[in-house]
Structure 1
Amino acid sequence: MTLRSVFRSWVEHYFSDEEALILLVVLVLGFAVVIWLGRMLAPFLTALVIAFLLQGGVNALTRRHVPHFLAVMLVYLAFIGVLLAMALVLLPLIWNQLVNLVQETPRMFASGQRLLDDLQARYPQLVTPDQIQDWIGMAGREVTQLGQRALTLSLASLGNVVSLIIYLVLVPILVFFMLKDRDRLVSFTVSLLPQRRELMTRIWQEMDDQIANYVRGKVTEIAIVGTVTFFTFAFFGLPYTALLAVLVGLSVLVPFIGAAVATLPVAAVAGFHFGISDEFLYVLIAYGVIQALDGNVLVPILYSEAVNLHPVSIILAVLFFGGIWGFWGVFFAIPLATLLKALVYAWPRGIQQRQRLQTDKALADK
C-alpha cells in the first residue's frame, strides 16, 4: 500500500461526508477570522465572552419566573456595578501599589545584597563573591529591561486613550444587546448553517456544558482565590496586598505552572518585608494552604463537569494557544483543547453512525 493510497483512504474516511467538509470549512474560517481579524474584532469577542458568562445569571432568574427583559436588566446593572467598582476602586489601588513597588526597588536590592553578603559570610564555600556579583548583575539587567518595557508600554498606550474609551463604551453596549436579543442572534447564526448538521450538533453537545462550566468556574475561582489572598496577606500586614492578590488570582489561569510562578513574587515581597523570620514562614504557609484548598476543594466544587484532559494535553494547549492569542489563548486553552477532543471523538462516530443509518434504511426499503 503506497502513501498516496493511505492518504486517499484517510480522506475518504473523514471527508467523504458533505457535513464533514462544511464543518471543516466553518472551523478553518472561524480560526482564520480570530487569528487575522482578532485585534479588529476584539471588542466584539470580549463582549461575546462576557455575555456568555452573564447568560447563566439571566437563565437562573428566568427559571424563577422573572420576565426575560427584567432579568437581563438586573444582570446587566450588576455587571456595570462590578465594572465601575473595578475602574474606580481596584485599578487605582493596584496602580498605586505598583508605583510604590517600583519606588521601593532600590531598597529591596540593598536588602537583597545584605542577605547575600550574610550568606557568603556564613557559607563561604557555597556562595562566593563572584557568584554574588553575577546574581546582582543579572537581577539589575532584568529590572532594567522590565522598566524599559513598562516605559515603552506606557508611551505606546498614550496614543490609544481614545481607542480605550471607545472600547469601554462599545463592550457594555454589545453585551446588553447580546443578552437582550440572544434568541434572535442565535436563530440568525443557526440559519446560516446547513439543514443537515447532526455532526455539528453532536460536537456542540459534547463540549457546550464543559465550556460553560469551565469559563464561569474559572472566573469564580479567580475572584475567590484573589479575595481570600487579599484578606490573608492583609492580616499578616504584607505590603502590596492588592497587587499580589490580583497576581495570585490570575495565576489560576495557567494550571500547574501559575501557582509556581506566583510563589516567587509572594516570597520575594515577604522576604524583603519581614526578612527570614517567623512571619515570613507564616506567610508562605498561608499561601501554600490557599493553593492546596484551591486545588483540592474549590476546583472540584466549581467544576462539577470535570474536563477529562490529561495534564500533558492541558500544558500543551496552554503553550500553543497562549503563544497564538496571548491572554485569551491561555484563558480558553482548556475549552479549545476540549473542542479538539470532541472533534476527534465525534467526527468519525458521527460519519459512521450516519452511514449505518443510511444502510439500515436502504435495507428496510428493499
Structure 2
Amino acid sequence: MFQYIQQWYRNKFSDPNAVTLFLLLIVSVLLIVFFGGILAPILAAIALAYLLDWPVNRLIDAGVGRLTATIIVMSLTVCIATLCLLTLVPVVWQQSTTLIREMPDMLANLQVWLHKLPELFPSVIDEAQITELMQSLKRRAVGLGEQILTSSLTSLVNVMAMLVYLIVVPLLVFFMLKDRDTLLAHFSRVLPTNRRLITQVGQEMNLQIMNYIRGKALEVIVVTVTSFAVFFAFDLRYTTLLSILVGLSVLIPYIGAVVVTIPVALVALFQFGATAPFAYVMAAYLIIQALDGNVLVPLLFSEAVSLNPVYIIAAVLVFGGIWGFWGVFFAIPLASLVKALITAWSSREAQQEPNEVM
C-alpha cells in the first residue's frame, strides 16, 4: 500500500510544474474559505470586470484609448444600474411585500385544492398525507418568514457596509479595466518560474470564465424579458417579481429552475384556480424552461454543456456548500477547472511516458 502511494506521488508530483500548480490551488482555496467574506467585493469586481472587458476591448479596437473606453463603459454601466434601481427595485419590493401578505391565503387555497385529490385518486393519495404535507408547508412558510424578517433586520444593521460596497466595487472594476495589463504583469511576477501547467490551465480557464460570465448575464436578461412578456400576456399577478425570479434562477443550474417553479405555480393557482388559464401559464413557463435548457444554453455555453449534468449538479452542491453564492454561480467554471486540471496532468503523464520508454 505504501509503495503504491509512493508510486502515485512520483507520477503526479515529480514535475516541479505540477507541484507549483497544486500549491497554488491549495493557497487559493484556503484564502477563499477563510477570507471569503473579506474578498467578496474583490470577487464581485473581478466578475464585473470580466463582463465589461469585452465592450472596452471593442472600443479599443475602434481606436479609442483604454482610459477613455473604460470611462465610457463604466459611465453607461452606472447609468443602467441606477435606472434599474430606481425603476425595478420599488416595484419588486412592493410586489414582494404583497406576496408575503397573501401567502397564507395562497396556502389555504392550495389546501382546499389538495383535499380534492383523495377523491380523484383514492388509491394513491389519502387524507393523512395531505394533512401532513400542509403542516410541513406551513412550518416552512413560518420559518421562511422569520428568516426574511431576521435578514431584513440584519440588512438594516449592515446598510453602511452595503453603501461602502456600492462605492468600492465600481472603483475596483474601473481600475481593473483601466490597468488590466499592469495588474496581470504584477500577478505574473508573483508566480514562481515553474509555471508551465499554471499557464496552460490559466489560459483555458480565463477563456472559460470570460465566456461563462458574459453568457450567463445574457441568459439572465433573455429569460427575464421572455418570462415578463409571457406572464404579462396572461395578466399574471406579480409579473415583474416572478419574471426576475425566473431570470435569476438560471444562475443555479437545474436546481434553480425547480425551486422557482413553486412560487410561479402558487401565484397562478391562487389567481386562476385549477382552470384552463392555470394550465396555459404553467405550459408556457415549462416551454420557457425547455427552450432555455435546450436552445439558449447550448448556444451560449457550448463548452460548458459538454459536462455531464451529474457533474454540474455535484459541482453546485459541493462548491455552493463551500463558498455559498459564489460557489453556486461559478459551479460550471469550477467544474471545468477540475476537468482542465485532469487534462493538464494527463497530458503531462502522456508526455513523460515516451521519455521513460526511451
SS for the counterpart of 2:324 is helix
- Taking the aligned partners of 1:56 and 1:304, their CA distance within structure 2 comes to 19
Specify which of 131, 137, 153 is matched with residue 139 of structure 1.
137
| Partner residue in 1 for 2:324 | 326
SS for the counterpart of 2:236 is coil
**Structure 1: runs of 5 or more not aligned:** none
Deviations 1:213-239 (A, max 9, x none): 122101110111011101210111111
Give the C-alpha shift of residue 165 in structure 1.
0.9
| Partner residue in 2 for 1:241 | 239
- Taking the aligned partners of 1:123 and 1:31, their CA distance within structure 2 comes to 52
| Partner residue in 2 for 1:208 | 206
Say whether the 8 Å CA contact 2:20–2:195 is kept in structure 1: no
| Partner residue in 2 for 1:99 | 97
SS for the counterpart of 2:38 is coil
- Taking the aligned partners of 2:121 and 2:204, their CA distance within structure 1 comes to 59
SS for the counterpart of 2:141 is helix
Q: TM-score, normalised by structure 1?
A: 0.91
What is the aligned-residue RMSD (CA, Å)?
2.3
Q: Closer, same or farther in 2 for the Cα pair 1:352/1:296, shift >3 Å?
A: closer
Specify which of 54, 62, 65 is matched with residue 64 of structure 1.
62
Q: Closer, same or farther in 2 for the Cα pair 1:303/1:123, shift >3 Å?
A: closer
SS for the counterpart of 2:22 is helix
Q: Closer, same or farther in 2 for the Cα pair 1:113/1:197, shift >3 Å?
A: closer
Say whether the 8 Å CA contact 1:225–1:294 is kept in structure 2: yes
Aligned ranges 1:246-265 → 2 under 5 Å? 246-265=244-263
| Partner residue in 2 for 1:227 | 225
Say whether the 8 Å CA contact 1:23–1:200 is kept in structure 2: yes
Deviations 1:222-258 (A, max 9, x none): 1110111012101111111122112211221222332
- Taking the aligned partners of 1:297 and 1:126, their CA distance within structure 2 comes to 37
- Taking the aligned partners of 2:326 and 2:292, their CA distance within structure 1 comes to 22
- Taking the aligned partners of 1:356 and 1:77, their CA distance within structure 2 comes to 56
Specify which of 16, 21, 37 is matched with residue 18 of structure 1.
16
Say whether the 8 Å CA contact 2:298–2:305 is kept in structure 1: no
SS for the counterpart of 1:39 is helix
| Partner residue in 1 for 2:30 | 32
Matched, 1:195 2:193: yes
Query: Comparing 201-210 with 347-356, which one deviates more in the overlay?
Result: 347-356
Query: Comparing 236-245 with 191-200, which one deviates more in the overlay?
Result: 191-200
Specify which of 268, 276, 279 is matched with residue 281 of structure 1.
279
Say whether the 8 Å CA contact 2:227–2:285 is kept in structure 1: yes
Q: Aligned pairs, how many?
A: 358
| Partner residue in 2 for 1:267 | 265
Q: TM-score, normalised by structure 2?
A: 0.93
Say whether the 8 Å CA contact 1:230–1:245 is kept in structure 2: yes
Say whether the 8 Å CA contact 1:209–1:305 is kept in structure 2: no
Deviations 1:312-343 (A, max 9, x none): 11111111001111111111011011111111
The one-letter code of the counterpart of 1:41 is L
Task: Find runs of 4+ consecutive structure 1 residues off by over 4 angstroms.
Answer: 117-129, 354-357
Say whether the 8 Å CA contact 1:248–1:262 is kept in structure 2: yes
Give the C-alpha shift of residue 112 in structure 1.
2.4
Larger radius of gyration: 1
Say whether the 8 Å CA contact 2:16–2:194 is kept in structure 1: no
Deviations 1:32-74 (A, max 9, x none): 1111001012111111111111111111222222222222112
Identity %: 46
